[in-house]
Amino acid sequence: MAPFFILNQFLNYLSTEKRFSDHTVTAYENDLKQFFEFSEIDSLAKLTEINYQLIRSWLVNMIDTGLSSKTVNRKLSSLRSFVKWCQKNDTINHNPFKKVVAPKTYKRLPIFVKESEIVDEKFDYVLSDDFNWFRNHLIIEIFYQTGIRLSELMNLKIDDIQCDSIKVLGKRNKERVIPISNDLYQKKSRLLKVKS
């Protein structure tokens, strides 16, 4: 069938010229075959008649079947790439995506950990003189109080923790000074005592 011949040419283009992974090419293939099946495209003539109403019908159908906005947008993106390729190769001479509005995707809000969950439940019930315990406790307290990046923490030296601030080397080697509580400084002092 003509549309599947063209589809195979497009998939070959993705694989050889765009150098997409096999997994990505397979995803494109599945998405486009689903569109062809929904739209009953079985000839080159029907392929050239793809219009925005047909794409919007497919979009509504996908949402009605319970697909997430993220999945729907990925499938639309596969079809959009295919249509652009067809336009470049003179198979389709119009842009059926002009009036198509993709569904909005919503980002999940981050889940914050309560101080009581970090400190009380994980550490306060443990009584230990172990160096590793004090070190781990100090690391989590530094993260919680300062919000520094993991890379900044990894480059942190014990002398960078002063009585009222921490000196960190951030992105592009910019030095920042972050205020800390006296309690955090005392925990550093306790760590040094345990170490010695």
pLDDT of res. 157: 84
Cα separations in angstroms, 139 against 1, 71, 101, 126: 63, 39, 47, 16
Co-location of 143 and 72 in the same domain: no
Nearest to 83 by CA among 17, 36, 21: 36
pLDDT of res. 113: 64
pTM of the shown model: 0.54
pLDDT of res. 121: 47
Co-location of 127 and 186 in the same domain: yes
pLDDT of res. 114: 66
Any domain includes 94: no
| Residue 157 structural domain | 115-195
Residue 23, token pair as written in the block? 């997994």
pLDDT of res. 115: 59
Any domain includes 103: no
Q: Encode 99-168 in three state secondary structure.
A: CCCCCCCCCCCCCCCCHHHHHHHHHHCCCCCCHHHHHHHHHHHHHHHHCCCHHHHHCCCHHHECCCEEEE
Co-location of 78 and 128 in the same domain: no
pLDDT of res. 116: 61
Total domains, the chain: 2
Question: Which amino acid is present at 10?
Answer: F
Residue 28, token pair as written in the block? 């494109």
pLDDT of res. 76: 92
Nearest to 4 by CA among 54, 40, 42, 50: 42
Per-residue pLDDT reduced to its tens digit, 4-17 = 788 999 999 999 99
Nearest to 180 by CA among 169, 191, 190, 165: 165
pLDDT of res. 175: 83
CATH number of the domain encompassing residue 38: 1.10.150
Task: Kindly give the parts of the chain with pLDDT less than 50.
Answer: 1, 121-122, 124-127
Nearest to 185 by CA among 162, 155, 158: 162
CATH number of the domain encompassing residue 138: 1.10.443.10
Give 111's DSSP letter: P
Any domain includes 107: no
In the block, tokens 């925990």 appear at: 187
Any domain includes 60: yes
Co-location of 83 and 125 in the same domain: no
